[in-house]
Amino acid sequence: MDGHALMNGLGFFKRLLGSHAAEPRDEAHLQTALGARMLVVDDSPTICAVLGKMLRQDGYAVLKATEGRDAIELARSEQPALIFLDIVMPGMNGFAVLRALRHDPLTRDIPIVMISGNPQATEQFYVQRFGADDFMQKPFGRDEVYLRIGQLVQSGRLAGRLPPVQVELAPPVLSAEELSADDLADIPDIAMPDADATPHRAGATAMPQATLQVVHGIG
């Protein structure tokens, strides 16, 4: 490993470990383009709803997938600006989805933030980077989501938001899901793993053997 790669790796690892530590945040946080497509991939409807609400409140259009293969198809067809990808999912897990996206010329350059509440999945991601841009651990709040987006804007992975006078006043509607103000108010502001989490979700203490095989097989 050359010195540049080592420094990048150490910086990334430090950011992961300090993701929940107090960090200076500008009141006007860095944002990407108004109406930018954000793809949320998680088998938990709760996480999809909460993260979707946070993103919409910052002016983004939200696409959702609860299964890995659907996420790949959406990423190919819709070309989202950013993907939030859960690691521990039944069937095709997040590491396998990440590998597929990075090997596809249509999706290999899309920024990806991995999310998980599973300690072992988190540890696997700390130790080995498989091409994701960042990591966010459950539970997370709005500030955490905006911080991740802001860091990608700052690094140049996402375009910065133009002044309001230079953009459309309303983002495009990409989903048939229409929520009233009351419906949005009912969605919590913290993304927590589902209370009835099964072993493949955040409360799991170990990853399934099939998942571990996929993890170690990614090159």
DSSP code string of 59-117: T-EEEEESSHHHHHHHHHHH--SEEEEES--SSS-HHHHHHHHHHSTTTTTS-EEEEE-
Q: What is the pTM of this model?
A: 0.68
Each residue of 144-170: pLDDT tens digit?
999 999 999 999 999 999 987 655 555
Amino acid 168: pLDDT? 56
Contact present, 55 and 172 (Cβ < 8 Å): no
Q: Which domain CATH number covers 155?
A: 3.40.50.2300
In a domain, residue 108? The reply is: yes
In a domain, residue 168? The reply is: no
In a domain, residue 9? The reply is: no
In a domain, residue 24? The reply is: no
In a domain, residue 19? The reply is: no
Gap between the Cα atoms of 140 and 117, Å rounded: 10
In a domain, residue 212? The reply is: yes
Each residue of 124-148: pLDDT tens digit?
666 466 789 998 889 999 999 999 9
Owning domain of residue 139 = 29-160+198-217
Instruction: Please give the tally of structural domains in the chain.
Output: 1
Amino acid 164: pLDDT? 79
In a domain, residue 112? The reply is: yes
Q: Which residues of the chain have pLDDT under 70?
A: 1-28, 124-129, 165-186, 188, 192-219
Contact present, 179 and 186 (Cβ < 8 Å): no
Tokens of 205: 């203490």
Amino acid 184: pLDDT? 65
CA distances (Å), 6 to each of 19, 75, 87, 109, in order? 20, 30, 24, 22
In a domain, residue 70? The reply is: yes
